[in-house]
Every structure is written in structure tokens, then in C-alpha cells.
Amino acid sequence: MNGGASIVDLFIWGSGGWSRPLLTGLCVTVACASIGYVLGIVLGLAVAFAKLGRNSWLAAAATVYTTLLRGVPPLLVIFLLFFGTNGALMWIARGFGYAGYIEVDAFTVGVLAVAFVSAAYSSEVFRGAHAAIPKGQFEAFAALGLPPVVGLWTVIMPQMLRLALPGLGNVWILAMKETTLLSVISLAELMRVVGLAGRTTGQPFVFYGAAAIIYLVLIAMSSRAFKAVEARMRWA
Amino acid sequence: MDLETTLHVATELAGAIWVTLALAAATLPLGFMFAALTTWARKSPYRFAQTVASAYVLVFRSTPLLVQIFVLYYGLSQFAWVRSSPAWIVLRDPFACAIIAMSLCAGAYTAEVMRGGLAAVPQGAIEAARSLGLSRFKTFLLVTAPIAMRRALPAYSNEIVVTLKSTSLACTITVMELTGVAKDLMSQTFAVIEVFCMVAAIYLAINMILIFALRSLELSLSPAYLRPASRMRRMIPWMSRSIAR
Amino acid sequence: MFGKLAKLSGIISLCALLVAPAAAEGQVEVRIGTDGGYLPWTSMTPEGELTGFDIELAKLVCERMERTCRFTAQPWEGQIPALEQGKYDILVGGISITPERQKRLAFTQSYGNLPINFAAAKSSGLNGKSTWPELKAALAGKTIGVQSGTQSQKFMDNELKSEVTIRLYDNQDSLNLDLLAGRIDAALAGRSPWIALTRTPQGEPIEILSPNLDFQQFNYLGVGVGGLMRKDGHELRKAWDEALCKLKVEGEVKRISEKWFGFDISVKPDPIICGA
């Protein structure tokens, strides 16, 4: 709004320019999203099998977990995880006679928040994929005399993964966007830097536009990768 | 938080539930419409329509909704010609802007869901219907659409829940829905965690109702042979246990 | 390369579940939380350094208290629970003192009070009223924007809530944009952002409306802004207040305020805290 600095000046590398903080923010975003996503997928697979398994209590717990994490606004998941773990740690430390302030670092909490939420969504994706596998496949490996674990691993899992891929691509986008909320726990990810830069320079559009382009490139690149894997698996 | 504050917060929040529900209720059908149009354009023989549809999906899925809302609301209003055009009657209103931005975004995601659903329809089923002499349209209506719908429903229910939660971004353009009211209350009373938990409980309640309704719809759409007896047990294990006994 | 490094350090921190006790020994270091995105109160340079009226003042206070201070930027919503949990000792950044807030947390004495004004398009015909009741009558039925959590919102809630449609904004920039776009008929904010806006070419069609709404006229505005603390932080609060007393008498608060706001927003020393 102030119209003082030109757009080029805003993005100069080094003193007074915002390229460097933006890049740092981008790194935090990508690191947090990718680690959280991978953890989330593994956890999500476990949750999905818990839902599909014989143990009804485990299945109920898994259902409650997905309902809760999908139903609650993601910002609250982050809030509770951050202040909850800190509170719990301090409570334990107090038992040992330490009364100071303890904090799990914001990055770890960010990764966990992304992991928990993407686990909830990916478990639904896996469940859907499992349901889409023809019943004959299960009967086939049973007829071959394969033990259930081996059958699941060699026959069902590959098909499940293939069917789940488009859904998992969505979850990846979700994980990326989840990170935009992590600034509340003082993690300087991309959107936080963008917001700060916009307000400090009085040029919110320049920075929001830049953010849009960065996210667009990131997600376009990753969905290309997903499509490539999808195409590959179709022939396998 | 004392009782007086709690009551004040609770009544203020309860009043805002309707705004959130109205946003979601307007966004979902519009989003579905955009998605249907996109899906149709993607399958159409016209290259131009295909390109536009793909670009739309790519752009709206790949940028944060917050940015989209910002650009539509604050970005367009910077141009004088937009302000003097008839579109300004709609764009002037924050509520309308929120609905437009959110349904455009939801439309892009829903289009992907539809793509997934259509891809899961076995080619054989379509061929069978065609060889029985059903027209293209009838094949779509009687064979493709029902199968695709059933396949896409879990993903679409995800989408509905996400849309409901994303209405919370409307408060950045002054629509006072649940989150907006909650933020105001938090900065008034400083009871951040308490207010947030109350809001979360409301969102959770709405979403639980939605999720269970969609789950039962999913069950009722599955043909009997695909509806394992254990499905019900999975949903409510403690209940079916007592039934089994 | 850089990304990989960040990822790696992320993995390491994840594996180690980096649990860092914030204050090691005693309470030598004062931990200060601030938003960093609320000009001119608190802002951040591209180098990641915090600046602004509140930051500069807080640094002076720390000097006077002979304590080292550490500033951390965190968005407003996260600050309050973090303060309550003990991550920070004090929060600064244009935080308005209100009785409702004082129920839960404590404030230092007020150190600044920004007079507020309405602003509207020159073509609106709202300007030129000499008293508040006259302006109030002219505003009835209009849509008015205000930034949430500010003195201005307090004023709106007290004076105009039933007569007008109030729109709440996250920040001053959004408020400016909507005022320029004509989505709102008028807006209420501190005088300094309006001066800044009307000086820009885009802000040319906007004017500041008379009369000035000052705290002599409206008692509840007189409290102004202060540092926010937990109720158990007596010691720090006392030290902070004492330092503020001195800085006010020496005219330092006035000097910093003129630097950041362009005029004096400082508040007289609180007689109960500073003595007569």
C-alpha cells in the first residue's frame, strides 16, 4: 500500500530483502510436511488395519481416532498437542522437583500434528482402497493355501497401494496445507513469513501472490510425481 | 473461566453455528456443480474445455484456500472497473465472496474425487451395458454413475468434512462464523484454550453427525453381497456384542 | 541442499525429541513474547529482528531493570496460552488494557494511548461534525469496520453497537483495503494509521473525520495499552512498572512514540504506582 519499495527491492537477497526468510520458511514447510506425511502414512496404514481387523475394541479405538482427528479443526489439534505435551512434561518434571518451563520444540510438535492428521485421513483412503479390492482376490490367496499375513502382504497390499495412490496424493496436499497453521506455535513456516512480510512492508498482495506461486509449483511438482508413480503401478 | 463468562461465550458461539452451517450448505452444492462441470469438460472432446478444466483443478487444489479468499475479496476490489461492474453487487458482500471462493476450491477437490470414482468403474460393466443396447446416457445413468458414486463416497465424505472445517477461513474477510466469533471472544476474555475447546466440540458434533450419516449412506448404497455382516459390528462394537449374546 | 539440511536437522530434532528447558538458572532472563506483525507497535525486519514502539520501549525497560531480555515472535492467538503456561514472562505489542482481561491476567501500568478517529471517503459527507453526538447521528445505519481486539473495537462496542453494522478485521491493512474499496462506509482506528494512509496516493480519497475521540471524553479509553503478565509475576511487574515510571518522567516514552507514531502517545505516570 505504501508504494515505497519496488517489487524487486522486496525480494532482494540479503539485507532488507525477503527472499532469504521466505526460503527458510519454505524449507521449514517442506521438511515439516514431508516428515509428518511419511509418519502419517505409516500410522494411517496401522489405523486402517485396526479398523478392518477382527479385534472390535481396536477397531472402535481406530474409528474414534479418525472421527476425532477429522472432526476437530486442525488448529485445535496443533494447540492441544503443543500446550498439552508441554503441560504433561512439566507436570512430570514437577514430580521430580523441577519447577521451570519445559517445551517440546515447535518443529517436533508440527511434525506430529501433520502426522496425526494425515494418519486419520489416509486411514480412510486405505479403508476405501481395501473395500475396492475384489473379494475374489482374498479367496484366491486363501485357496492357494497362503497364510493370511503373507497373502495380505503379497496379494492385497500392492493392489491396495495402487488404489490408494490418488487419495494419498490428496492427503499430501492436505499435509502441506496443514503446515500453514503451524505458525501459532511460533514455527516460522512459509505462510507466517508471508504474513509478516506483507504486514511489515504494507504489500500483502505481492507476498500472498508469491506464496500462491510457490505452493502452486510445489504441489504441481508433487502431483506430477504422484501421477508418474500411479502410471507406473498400473502396468505393474 | 467463571460461570458468567462461560455462559456468555456459549451463547455467542451458539449464535454463530448458523452462519457456519449456512456457509457449508451454500458451498457444497455449488462445489458439486463446479465439479460436475469440470468432470464433464475433462471428458469432452474439446481440447480447450479439457485444458481449462485441468488448469482450474490444478490452480485451485495447489494454492491455499486462504490465499484464494484473499485474492477474490481484497485483490479484485482493488480494480476500479470491478467496483463499477455489476459483479460488484455480489463481490461487495463478504458472505457471497466467501461462498464463491470456497465453492470454487471445493469444486476442484470434488472434481478429483469424481475422477477417482469414475476410474474405479470396471470397464467390463460399461461394455456389458453397451452391448445390452443401452444408450450412452442410459449407461452413464444406470451403470457408471451408481458404481462411481459408491466408490467415491468415502472420499467425498472427507471432502464434506474438510469443507465444513474450511468455513473457518471466512472470518479473515469479516464473516463472523464460529471461528471468527471465537477469535473475538478469545481476545476479549483471554480464555484461549477454553474457548477453543468449546468451538472444537461444536465442530466435532456437527462433523460426527455428518460422518455417521454419510457412513450409513455408504452402507445402504453397497449391494448386499458387498455388505459384510461385520460392518455393523465395526461401527459400534459394544452394541453388536450385546446383540450377539 | 539447504532443504535437505533442514530436513536432516528436523529428523534429528524429532528423534531426540528435543526437550529444552527454557530458563536454566533462576530467573535472570526475562522472556518477552510479541506478535511481530502489528505496526507500529511490534514488527519484524527481513533479518528476523524485532522492532517497533513496544520493542524499543521494552528494551529500554530491560536496560533500566538491569536484566537481560529475550524476545520471541509468535502470533497473537498462541501467545496467551504460552504466557499462562510459563513460556513467556511478559507480552508486549499494543495490548489494550480492559477490565474483562484483567479478570484473568495482570497488566503493567499503561504506557501509551493512541487517540482514535473515524475515517471515511471524502465524498461520504460525514466530515465536518463538531461533536460526537452529531457524528454518531450521521453514522447511524452505516457499515463500519474496526480491527478486533483494539481500543477502537472497545469504543464501537460501547457507543455504536446497536446503531451500526460492525465488521471486524484481523489487521489494519485489510481494513484500509475495504475502506478504499467502499465495502465499508467508515472505519475506526488509531490516528497514526489514518495519517499514514491519507499520505499515500491510494489513500487520497480518504479523510480523517472530526471530532477527535480522546480519552478525556471517554474514560474507558484512557487506560491505553500495557504489558501483559501472569497474576503471579509480582516481582517482575514491580520492576517493570518502576522502570516505566522513570522512563516516562525522563521523556523517553514520548521520544520513542514520536519516532514510531509521529506524535506523542505517552501516558502520564500512574500516581498509585509511581507516587506523586
Instruction: Tell me the pLDDT tens digit for each residue of A111-122.
Output: 999 999 999 999
State how many domains chain B has.
1
Q: Is residue C12 part of a domain?
A: no
Q: Is B96 on the interface with C (CB under 8 A)?
A: no
Say yes or no: C184 and C129 in one domain: yes
Give the mean pLDDT of A214-225: 90
Q: C126: which residues sit within 8 A by CB, 6+ positions away?
A: C118, C120, C135, C138, C139, C185, C186, C209
Say yes or no: C103 and C234 in one domain: yes
Give the mean pLDDT of A160-172: 87
* pLDDT on residue C22: 43
Amino acid sitting at position C270: D
| Chain A residue numbers touching B109 (CB-CB < 8 A) | 170
* pLDDT on residue C190: 87
Q: Distance, in angstroms, between B59 CA and closest chain A CA?
A: 7
Closest CB from B64, B115, B211 relative to A215: B64
Chains B, C: CB contacts within 8 A come to 57
Say yes or no: C132 and C210 in one domain: yes
Instruction: Tell me the pLDDT tens digit for each residue of C40-50.
Output: 899 888 888 99
DSSP per-residue string spanning chain A: ----S-HHHHT-SSTT-SHHHHHHHHHHHHHHHHHHHHHHHHHHHHHHHHHHSS-HHHHHHHHHHHHHHHHS-HHHHHHHHHHHHHHHHHHHHHHTT--S-EEE-HHHHHHHHHHHHHHHHHHHHHHHHHHHS-HHHHHHHHHTT--HHHHIIIIIHHHHHHHHHHHHHHHHHHHHHHGGGGGGGT---HHHHHHHHHHHHT-HHHHHHHHHHHHHHHHHHHHHHHHHHHHHHHH-
Give the mean pLDDT of C261-266: 88
- Output the pTM of the full model: 0.82
The residue behind cell 520458511 is A25
Angle at C151 between CA C240 and CA C35, to 5 degrees: 55
Instruction: Tell me the pLDDT tens digit for each residue of A79-124.
Output: 888 888 888 888 888 888 887 888 888 899 999 999 999 999 999 8
Instruction: Tell me the pLDDT tens digit for each residue of C178-231.
Output: 999 999 999 999 888 898 888 888 889 999 998 888 777 787 776 789 999 999
**Predicted ipTM of the assembly:** 0.78
Strand blocks (E) in chain C: 19-21, 29-34, 37-38, 42-44, 50-51, 68-73, 90-91, 106-107, 116-121, 143-147, 165-169, 186-190, 206-208, 228-229
Q: Which of B87, B100, B75, B74 is nearest to C178 (CA)?
A: B74
* pLDDT on residue C24: 42
Higher pLDDT: A185 or C62? It is C62
* C22 with A86: Cβ contact below 8 A: no
* B74 with C177: Cβ contact below 8 A: yes
Say yes or no: C139 and C80 in one domain: no
What is the pLDDT of chain C when averaged over all its residues? 85
Instruction: Tell me the pLDDT tens digit for each residue of A34-58.
Output: 999 999 999 999 999 998 888 889 9
Give the mean pLDDT of A24-34: 94
Block means of pLDDT (10 residues each) for chain B, 245 residues, are 88 94 96 96 94 94 88 87 91 95 95 89 91 92 90 85 90 92 88 89 92 86 64 41 34
* pLDDT on residue B231: 45
Q: Distance, in angstroms, between A218 CA and closest chain C CA?
A: 13
- Cα nearest neighbour of B73 on chain C: C178
| C14 pLDDT more than 60 | no
Distance CA A107, CA A96 (A): 26
CA A54 from centre of chain = 28
Distance CA B199, CA A76 (A): 9
Q: Is residue C4 part of a domain?
A: no
Measure the CA dihedral B50/B53/B54/B59, to 10°.
Answer: 160
Paired sense of beta strands C50-51 and C68-73, if any: unpaired
Closest CB from A71, A170, A208 relative to B208: A71
Q: Is residue C20 part of a domain?
A: no
| Residue C208, φ and ψ in degrees, nearest 5 | -85, 130
The CATH H-level (homologous superfamily) assignment of domain A7-235 is MetI-like (1.10.3720.10)
Q: Is residue C165 part of a domain?
A: yes
| Cross-strand bridge partners of residue C229 | C106
Angle at C14 between CA C8 and CA C15, to 5 degrees: 95
| Residue C97, φ and ψ in degrees, nearest 5 | -85, 125
Q: Which of C174, C173, C156 is nearest to C165 (CA)?
A: C156
Give contacts of B 28-47 with C, CB under 8 A. Answer: none
* pLDDT on residue B198: 92
Q: Which of C139, C162, C116, C142 is nearest to C261 (CA)?
A: C116
Measure the CA dihedral C16/A84/C104/C42, to 10°.
Answer: 40
* pLDDT on residue A91: 87
The residue behind cell 497474576 is C231
CATH code, C254: 3.40.190.10
Say yes or no: C123 and C209 in one domain: yes
Helix A19-52 to helix A106-132 angle (10° resolution) is: 40
* pLDDT on residue B225: 65
Give the mean pLDDT of A10-14: 71
Indicate the domain borders of chain A.
Answer: 7-235
pLDDT band for position C120 (cuts 50, 70, 90): very high
* Domain ranges, residue B21: 3-244
Question: From residue C109, how far is each of A19, C173, C268 by CA, in Å?
Answer: 39, 29, 10
Share above pLDDT 90 across residues of chain C, in percent, rounded to a whole number:
47
Paired sense of beta strands C228-229 and C106-107, if any: antiparallel
* pLDDT on residue C23: 41
Distance CA C61, CA B199 (A): 38
B209, containing H or E segment: helix B192-221
| Chain B residue numbers touching A60 (CB-CB < 8 A) | 236-238
- Cα nearest neighbour of B78 on chain C: C181
| Chain C residue numbers touching A199 (CB-CB < 8 A) | 37-39, 43, 171, 173
* Domain ranges, residue C250: 26-112+224-274
| Chain C residue numbers touching A82 (CB-CB < 8 A) | 78
- Cα nearest neighbour of B194 on chain C: C81
Residue C13 in contact with residue C54, Cβ under 8 Å? Answer: no
Say yes or no: C213 and C123 in one domain: yes
* pLDDT on residue B28: 96
Q: Which of A79, A103, A180, A187 to mutate to test the interface with C (most CBs of C within 10 A)?
A: A103
| A154 pLDDT more than 90 | no
Question: From residue C101, how far is each of C108, C226, C233 by CA, in Å?
Answer: 13, 12, 16
pLDDT band for position A236 (cuts 50, 70, 90): low
Say yes or no: C239 and C208 in one domain: no
Give the mean pLDDT of C68-93: 91
pLDDT band for position A147 (cuts 50, 70, 90): confident
Q: Is A76 on the interface with C (CB under 8 A)?
A: no
Q: Is A195 on the interface with B (CB under 8 A)?
A: no
Distance CA A189, CA A206 (A): 18
Closest CB from A17, A101, A199 relative to C46: A17
Chains A, C: CB contacts within 8 A come to 126
| Chain A residue numbers touching B168 (CB-CB < 8 A) | 73, 75
CATH code, B76: 1.10.3720.10
Paired sense of beta strands C29-34 and C68-73, if any: parallel
Measure the CA dihedral A114/A118/A119/A120, to 10°.
Answer: 120
Residue B149 in contact with residue B116, Cβ under 8 Å? Answer: no
